[in-house]
C-alpha cells in the first residue's frame, strides 16, 4: 500500500540545473535570433519564455501524479502519439520538404518529440510487466517492436534525428531491465549489417548530409555550408570567445539555423572554449543526478523510466554538440533546454518531471 505521505524530498538540482541551462541558453537565443524575423510579431526569446511557462505547468502536473499511474496509462499515451504521427504523415504542415508539425488552434507542435516520452513510458510498462521473463528473446522482441513501430512513422516524415533518438532510449531501458547484452549487441550488429538497405531508402538530402560529413568541402555552398560555418564559428571563438552578440558568423547571418539545431555554435563563438566547457559540465552534472535517481530507486518501473530519460537526453546532447563541431553528420536534433522550440522544451521539461516524480516516490511501497 502506498504511503499517504508520498511527497518525499527530491534532489533540487534536478530542477535547478535544467533551469540554469535554459536561462544560459536564453542569452544565446537572444543573440542568435537578433537578426531573424519574428513570428507573428513576437520575438523568439519571448516565445521561448512562454514555452517555459507551459513546460513548468506540465512539470507541476506530472510530479503530482504517481509515476506508476502514468505507466499504467502509457498505452493510451502511446496510442494518441501514434495517431498524431499518422495525421502528420497525411495532413501535417510541411517545412523544408518534411512533414513534422501539427497545427491545432494556432498551436504548432511536433508529435515526434512526444513520441520519445511515449516510448519511455511504453517500454517501462512492457518490460516492467514482463520482468520475470526478461531474459527471454520474446520479451526483447516485443520491446524492439514497440520501438520500431514509432521509428518507421517518424522516419517517414522524414525526421531522421528524432527517429534515431528512439534507439538510445530502447538500449538504456533494456540495460536497466537487465536484458541480456547479447540481444542488445546483436541488434546493433544487425542494424549495421542492414545499413546498405537503409541507405537506399534515405532521402537525397539525408544522403548528402552523410557524404558531406565525410568531406564538407564536396558541397561548400550546399549541404556542407552549415557545417563549415558552424566549425568556423566555434573555432573563431578561441578560449574566451568574442563576447555576447559579438560573433561575426551569427550576427552577420552566415550561420543558418543558429537559433535551433546550431545554437551551440553561437555558444562557442561568443563564449569560446570555456563557455562550451561550462555548458557541457552542466549537462554532465544533470545526467549524473538523473543516473543517481535510477540507482537509488527500488521500483522497477521508476528505474526504467529514469534510465530512458537519461538515454534520451544524453544522446541528444552528445549528437547535437558533436554535429555542430563536425564530428557527426547533421541529423537535425535540438540541444535540450537551449535550442528554440516549444515541443522540444516542453518534452524535455516533462522528462525531467518524470525523474523528479520517481525521486519523490523512490522509497514508497
Q: Concatenate the DSSP letters of all residues of 318-354 into one string.
A: HHHHHHHTTSS-----PPTTTSS-HHHHHHHHHHHHH
The CA distance from 62 to 56, in Å, is 10
The number of angstroms, rounded, from the C-alpha of 40 to the middle of its chain's C-alpha atoms is: 27
pLDDT attached to residue 304: 96
Q: Which three cell numbers stand for residue 160?
A: 531522421
CA angle (173, 174, 180) in 5-degree steps: 160
| Crossing angle of the two packed helices 342-360 and 263-296, in degrees rounded to 10 | 20
The CA distance from 91 to 81, in Å, is 15
The CA distance from 85 to 101, in Å, is 9
**What are the residue boundaries of the structural domains of the chain, listed by start?**
13-360
The CA distance from 135 to 110, in Å, is 35
Burial class from Cβ neighbours inside 10 Å (0-12, 13-18, 19+) for residue 253 reads exposed
The CA distance from 44 to 8, in Å, is 37
pLDDT attached to residue 99: 59
State yes or no: pLDDT of 204 exceeds 80: no
Rounded to an integer, the average pLDDT of 70-93 is: 89
Residue 218 DSSP code: G
* pLDDT band of 136, cuts 50, 70, 90: confident
Rounded to an integer, the average pLDDT of 176-187 is: 88
Q: What is the pLDDT of residues 319-352, one digit of tens each?
A: 999 999 988 888 878 999 999 988 999 999 999 9
More confident residue, 241 or 37: 241
The CA distance from 68 to 71, in Å, is 5
Q: What is the pLDDT of residues 14-71, one digit of tens each?
A: 999 999 999 999 999 999 888 776 666 578 899 999 999 999 999 999 999 999 999 9
State yes or no: pLDDT of 139 exceeds 80: yes
Calculate the average pLDDT of the chain.
87
Least confident among 18-27, 197-206, 245-254? 197-206
Q: Which three cell numbers stand for residue 274?
A: 570555456
Q: Which three cell numbers stand for residue 343?
A: 515541443
Residue 216 DSSP code: G
pLDDT attached to residue 346: 95
More confident residue, 113 or 6: 113
* pLDDT band of 158, cuts 50, 70, 90: confident
State yes or no: pLDDT of 96 exceeds 80: no
pLDDT attached to residue 114: 94
CA dihedral of residues 352, 62, 360, 23 (deg, nearest 10):
40
pLDDT attached to residue 43: 85
* pLDDT band of 5, cuts 50, 70, 90: very low
Amino acid at each position: 500500500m502506498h504511503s499517504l505521505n508520498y511527497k518525499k524530498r527530491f534532489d533540487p538540482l534536478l530542477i535547478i540545473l535544467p533551469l540554469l541551462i535554459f536561462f544560459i541558453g536564453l542569452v544565446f537565443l537572444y543573440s542568435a535570433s537578433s537578426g531573424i524575423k519574428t513570428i507573428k510579431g513576437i520575438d523568439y526569446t519571448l516565445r521561448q519564455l512562454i514555452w517555459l511557462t507551459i513546460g513548468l505547468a506540465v512539470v507541476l502536473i506530472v510530479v503530482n501524479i504517481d509515476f506508476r499511474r502514468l505507466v499504467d496509462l502509457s498505452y493510451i499515451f502511446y496510442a494518441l502519439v501514434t495517431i498524431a504521427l499518422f495525421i502528420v504523415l497525411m495532413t501535417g504542415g510541411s517545412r523544408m520538404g518534411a512533414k513534422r508539425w501539427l497545427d491545432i488552434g494556432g498551436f504548432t507542435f511536433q508529435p515526434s518529440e512526444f513520441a520519445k516520452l511515449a516510448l519511455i513510458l511504453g517500454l517501462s510498462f512492457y518490460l516492467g510487466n514482463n520482468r520475470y521473463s526478461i531474459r527471454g528473446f520474446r520479451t526483447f522482441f516485443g520491446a524492439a517492436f514497440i520501438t520500431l513501430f514509432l521509428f518507421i512513422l517518424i522516419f517517414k516524415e522524414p525526421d531522421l534525428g528524432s527517429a534515431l533518438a528512439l534507439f538510445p532510449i530502447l538500449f538504456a531501458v533494456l540495460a536497466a531491465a537487465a536484458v541480456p547484452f547479447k540481444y542488445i549487441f546483436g541488434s546493433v550488429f544487425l542494424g549495421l549489417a542492414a545499413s546498405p538497405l537503409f541507405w537506399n531508402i534515405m532521402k537525397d538530402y539525408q544522403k548528402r548530409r552523410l557524404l558531406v560529413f565525410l568531406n564538407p568541402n564536396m558541397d561548400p555552398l550546399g549541404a556542407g555550408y552549415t557545417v563549415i560555418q558552424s566549425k568556423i564559428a566555434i573555432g573563431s571563438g578561441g578560449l574566451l570567445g568574442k563576447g555576447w552578440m559579438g560573433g561575426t558568423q551569427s550576427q552577420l547571418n552566415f550561420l543558418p539555423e543558429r537559433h535551433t539545431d546550431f545554437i551551440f555554435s553561437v555558444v562557442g563563438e561568443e563564449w569560446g572554449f570555456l563557455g562550451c566547457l561550462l555548458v557541457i559540465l552542466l549537462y554532465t552534472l544533470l545526467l549524473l543526478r538523473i543516473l543517481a535517481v535510477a540507482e537509488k530507486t527500488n521500483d522497477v518501473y521508476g528505474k526504467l523510466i529514469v534510465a530512458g530519460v537519461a538515454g534520451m537526453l544524453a544522446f541528444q546532447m552528445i549528437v547535437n554538440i558533436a554535429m555542430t563541431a563536425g564530428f557527426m553528420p547533421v541529423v537535425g536534433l535540438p540541444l535540450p533546454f537551449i535550442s528554440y522550440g516549444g515541443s522540444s522544451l516542453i518534452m524535455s521539461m516533462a522528462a525531467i518531471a518524470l525523474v523528479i516524480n520517481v525521486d519523490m516516490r523512490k522509497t514508497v511501497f
